Amino acid sequence: MAVPKRKMSRANTRARRSQWKATAPTLTPCPNRACGALKPPHQACPTCGQHQGRQVLSV
């Protein structure tokens, strides 16, 4: 197993960790014209319960 020979400096450690950014979740509008709420793609809408034009959840 590889082991670092020297301690990584604070500046180098922080420069590496600065790339750890949280990304906002992708949201798409619900295709149901009456709803239009933002929802994650490829999932049923939590507001109206429809997915691809079919009612799949009872809300």
Confidence label for 1 from pLDDT (cuts 50, 70 and 90): confident
What confidence tens digit (pLDDT) does each residue in 18-42 have?
A: 888 889 999 999 999 999 999 999 9
User: In this predicted structure, what is the pLDDT of residue 37?
Assistant: 95
φ, ψ of residue 32 to 5 degrees: the values are: -70, 120
Residue 19 is assigned to a structural domain of this protein? no
pTM over 0.85: no
- Decide if 9 is inside a domain: no
Q: What is the mean pLDDT of residues 7-20?
A: 93
- Angle of CA points 29, 32, 36, to nearest 5°: 35
What per-residue confidence (pLDDT) applies to 21? 87
Q: How many structural domains does the chain have?
A: 1
Domain that holds residue 46: 26-59
